[in-house]
Amino acid sequence: MELQINDKTYQITSDADTPLLWVIRDELGMTGTKYGCGLAQCGACSVLVDGEVLRSCVMPVGAMAGRKVSTIEAVSADPVGKQVVDAWVKHQVPQCGYCQSGQVMAATALLKQVAQPSDEQIAAAMVNLCRCGTYNAIKAAMHDLSGSKGAPAAAASTLPAAPSGPAGVNQTTVAAAAVAGIGAVAAIQWSRTQKAKAGKEQA
């Protein structure tokens, strides 16, 4: 099938039920879009489809026919995307960086729809997980972009306070790790299904 990504048309050979994420990463070699949970929970795999943010780990590539996909590789070519990247640099948002392509895509999608989003709109749109806890920096960058001063950084996070468990383990980290673990299993199962299918076809 034909797939339009970043204003280019690609002929792809993956099965129609292959998650868009794996076509982008494995078939087309664009590795900026990340795999986190595989369950549409963390947002690491976020891309834009016809301008709306979408979690590519659970979207069959067959559903993308005739639609325009944008990935982090081309985000700076978009004027709004470029502003987001500049704000991310200005506010030094990334820590390890793994979640940040998804965060930038989510921010770009919001700001393309609403130039000056309210705190509530920012909170509703910026729900991707970050294991490094860059939420306050993301919020500061978003307030900068939206022209609002927002709340002071120390009080800016709308995420519930992450309580420490008996052994001092951050419960948010535990939850994210659990989601990632389940997703890894899902990816392995998907991979096995594909191998089984390929085996049948050869037999």
Q: Which residues bind ligand FES (CB under 6 A)?
A: 35-38, 40-45, 55, 57, 94-100, 130-132, 134
Q: Which is nearer to ligand FES, 148 or 190 (CB)?
A: 190
- The Cα–Cα gap between 140 and 157 comes to 10
Closest CB 89 distance from ligand FES, rounded Å? 14
Closest CB 178 distance from ligand FES, rounded Å? 13
Q: Which is nearer to ligand FES, 88 or 143 (CB)?
A: 88
CB-count burial class (<10 Å; 0-12, 13-18, 19+) for 50: exposed
List, in sequence order, every beta strand (DSSP E) within the chain.
2-5, 8-11, 46-49, 52-55, 68-70
Sign of CA dihedral 59, 65, 69, 73: positive
Closest CB 106 distance from ligand FES, rounded Å? 11
Q: Smallest Cα–Cα separation from 35: which of 98, 126, 105? A: 98
Q: Which is nearer to ligand FES, 148 or 170 (CB)?
A: 170
Closest CB 138 distance from ligand FES, rounded Å? 9
- The Cα–Cα gap between 147 and 83 comes to 12
3-state secondary structure of 77: helix
Q: Which is nearer to ligand FES, 19 or 117 (CB)?
A: 19
Q: Which is nearer to ligand FES, 23 or 99 (CB)?
A: 99
Q: Which two tokens stand for residue 86?
A: 């500049």
Closest CB 98 distance from ligand FES, rounded Å? 4
3-state secondary structure of 53: strand
